[in-house]
């Protein structure tokens, strides 16, 4: 029986909690939030023990914890949990700054515990299919374009759109290309709140792949699209509907493309993420997305904001 806990009972924290309660061989020891109303709601809905402070929960025996508090609190919560030699999955991004991220990675090594970062889009079946379709020996990738847009989320107050939405795609570009960032350029604007709410990010990877991210909080609908151009094909994925299309190279013979749609079994990415996290702990194998992976995203933030500043 894997004993787990959750700190932070906002939207994502409740998603983690729901998935844990639906898993066999998992016991939710307790959950933490400073908001009394939130504690009362999840106690009534899930029948779990609740605590006002992290220290109260950490007094119990735990195998793993989910950190779903605001980004500015990731470092504090993660360090406290790992100090107790408890494995942890921290929602993306790993921390607010690369210095905080480095401290978290160092603490995990010191304590010999697993530190995973919740870049959940890697567990989207559409992303898995895109990775499969562009990983063949003949599938030389030329460029990747990602659009991740939507309306302003009032629940996000401590970071802007780059660290919130953009973090997904910085990680995805590293994952899909299997390469690190060689150069990064970005521009952004702010029209709603204190932080940037619209950004364009252009990068070149060490292996020569070009990538572009369009992300904002000023679009009235939610959009999540990936387009990958290869020398011999073009792959398009809708991450919301989990639909993937593969276009052939242009035929000079009949001046057309052929299109293949790849049907997928719809899966909840967070459930797959947490399942793989706990499986790695049980088997003693590396977690799918390491603290070092999360740290690379934070270092890329530094490059982006250096351009903007």
Q: Tell me the mean pLDDT in the region 34-59.
A: 97
- Domain locations along the chain: 2-119+271-286, 122-268+299-308
**Chain mean pLDDT for the chain:** 94
Residue 242, helix vs strand vs coil: coil
CA dihedral 192, 194, 198, 200 (to 10 degrees): 160
pLDDT digits (tens, 9 = 90+) for 253-303: 666 778 888 888 788 999 999 999 999 999 999 999 999 999 999 999 999
List Cα–Cα distances, 110 to 61, 113, 118, 227, in angstroms.
20, 8, 21, 40
Q: Which helix (H) or strand (E) holds 142?
A: strand 141-151
**pLDDT reported for residue 253:** 67
CATH superfamily to which 2-119+271-286 belongs = NAD(P)-binding Rossmann-like Domain (3.40.50.720)
CATH superfamily to which 122-268+299-308 belongs = Dihydrodipicolinate Reductase; domain 2 (3.30.360.10)
pLDDT digits (tens, 9 = 90+) for 152-211: 887 776 788 999 999 999 999 999 999 999 999 999 999 887 889 999 999 999 999 999
The yes-or-no verdict on residue 251 having pLDDT over 70 is no
Per-residue confidence band for 248, with pLDDT thresholds at 50, 70 and 90? confident
Per-residue confidence band for 252, with pLDDT thresholds at 50, 70 and 90? low
Residues 51, 89: Cα–Cα separation, whole Å: 19
């Amino acid at each position: 029986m894997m004993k787990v806990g959750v700190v932070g009972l906002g939207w994502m924290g409740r998603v983690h909690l729901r998935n844990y309660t639906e898993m066999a061989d998992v016991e939710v020891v307790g959950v933490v939030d400073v908001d009394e109303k939130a504690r009362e709601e999840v106690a009534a809905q899930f029948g779990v023990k609740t605590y006002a402070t992290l220290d109260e929960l950490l007094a119990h025996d735990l195998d793993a914890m989910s950190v779903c508090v605001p980004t500015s609190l990731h470092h504090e919560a993660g360090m406290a949990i790992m100090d107790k030699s408890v494995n942890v999955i921290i929602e993306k991004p790993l921390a607010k700054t690369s210095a905080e991220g480095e401290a978290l990675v160092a603490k995990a090594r010191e304590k010999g515990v697993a530190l995973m970062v919740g870049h959940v889009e890697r567990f989207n079946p559409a992303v898995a299919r895109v990775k499969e379709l562009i990983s063949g020996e003949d599938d030389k990738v030329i460029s990747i374009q990602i659009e991740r847009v939507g309306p302003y989320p009032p629940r996000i107050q401590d970071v802007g759109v780059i660290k919130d939405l953009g973090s997904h795609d910085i990680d995805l570009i590293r994952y899909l290309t299997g390469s690190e960032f060689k150069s990064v350029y970005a521009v952004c604007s702010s029209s709603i709140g204190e932080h940037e709410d619209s950004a364009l990010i252009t990068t070149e990877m060490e292996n020569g792949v070009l990538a572009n991210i369009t992300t904002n909080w000023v679009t009235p609908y939610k959009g999540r699209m990936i387009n990958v151009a290869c020398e011999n094909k073009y792959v398009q994925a809708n991450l919301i509907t989990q639909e993937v299309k593969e276009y052939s190279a242009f035929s000079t013979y009949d001046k057309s493309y052929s299109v293949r749609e790849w049907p997928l079994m719809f899966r909840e990415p967070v459930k797959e993420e947490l399942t793989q996290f706990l499986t790695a702990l049980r088997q003693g194998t590396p977690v799918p997305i390491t603290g070092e992976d999360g740290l690379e995203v934070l270092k890329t933030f530094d490059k982006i904001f250096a351009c903007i500043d």
